[in-house]
Amino acid sequence: MSLPGEPSLTRRPIIKFSNASFAYNNHFALEKITLNLHEGEFVGVIGPNGSGKTTLLKALLGLIYPNEGSLQIFDCACEALRCRHRARIGYLPQKERTDPNYPITVQEVAMMGRYGAIGLFKRPTRGDREIVLESLDAVNMADKQKKAFGHLSGGEQQRVLIARALSQRPEILLLDEPTTGIDASTQRRLSELICRLHQKYSLTIVFVTHDINMISPIAETLIVLKNRLHAIGRPEEILTKEILSPVYGEEVIVAERDQRPYIIVHDTHNHV
């Protein structure tokens, strides 16, 4: 294992894992993770299937708690993070998770992002509707707000789900393989959109993906997981054969394309 050390950021740490382990059925999915993620940082999380990427997201979403060690979000132990703070964390799930036949309009999907902040027994106000419209506008979907969500293309649906996350007015945005199952040009537009939103709203982004070549040009920091924290650092520090081969196997090739490292992995997910 190699740990080139964290990037020297002067920004405030917003997420702190301290020796945190997460287990399902007595099996550790992530073990002894210690790392800090900072305000406004764009973090890419990579690793092969089963390396603990989704577990990391679930932990940040408050769906699972550490069995050992601790996880602090906004200076608060994750177990004690209350509803209104949870709303400060936006989430874009994997595309397949949503049912395309569910009868719901674009506006209704985006409004769901407000529900945590609105609270029980209350109805959305004009202010909530304005925030939703602004979020849909930020992803260029405002003109389609009355359309049925199920009738949109995959890329458009992802944009609406990003708008839902933005409607929460989040400080942290978690993305779980958002570009899977979408064609290459839509993928590119989607990652450009995420970069723009990162700048515009000063979001802390945790972007989980299997696509190393897509994430490395846009992330400030890369995290490589292999059920432990295998490496963390700037993309150019991470994308080396020494760091990647213990995770992806000896066959990993670090080539160069457009003066950037280009990784070829013998993995069913990664296309050459």
172 belongs to the binding site for other proteins (CB under 8 A): no
76 binds other proteins (CB under 8 A): no
63 is an interface residue for other proteins by CB under 8 A: yes
Helices (H), ranges, the chain: 53-61, 83-86, 106-118, 126-138, 154-167, 184-201, 212-215, 235-238, 241-248
Q: Give the C-alpha separation, 195 to 183, whole Å.
A: 18
91 contributes a contact to other proteins by CB under 8 A? yes
Minimum distance between the CB of residue 104 and other proteins, rounded to whole angstroms?
6
> Which tokens sit at 95?
């595309």
Looking at beta carbons only, is 82 or 257 nearer to other proteins? Answer: 82
In angstroms, the CA 147 to CA 70 distance is: 43
Pairing of strands 260-264, 253-257: antiparallel
Dihedral over Cα of 155, 159, 160, 165: its sign: positive
Q: Which of 7, 9, 69, 86 binds other proteins (CB under 8 A)?
A: 86
| Residue numbers 10-49 binding other proteins by CB under 8 A | 25
Residue 13 vs 62, nearer CB to other proteins: 62
Q: How far apart are CA 141 and CA 238, in angstroms?
A: 36
Instruction: Find the part of the chain contacting other proteins (CB under 8 A) among 10-18, 78-86, 152-160, 246-254.
Output: 78-86
Spacing of C-alpha 212 from chain mean position: 14
Of residues 8, 10, 101, 268, which one binds other proteins by CB under 8 A?
A: 101
- Quick check: 87 binds other proteins (CB under 8 A)? yes
Closest approach of other proteins to the CB of residue 246, in Å: 32
Q: Does 61 bind other proteins (CB under 8 A)?
A: yes
* Nearer CB in complex with other proteins: 32/147: 147
From CA 190, how far away is CA 194, in angstroms rounded? 6
Per CB under 8 A, which region of 42-50, 108-116, 183-191, 236-244 contacts other proteins?
A: 108-116
Amino acid at the residue 259: Q
Contact 18, 72 (CB under 8 A): yes
Q: What does the binding site for other proteins look like in residue numbers (CB under 8 A)? A: 25, 61-63, 82-87, 89, 91, 93, 97-99, 101-105, 108-109, 112-113, 115-116, 118, 120-121, 123-124, 148, 168
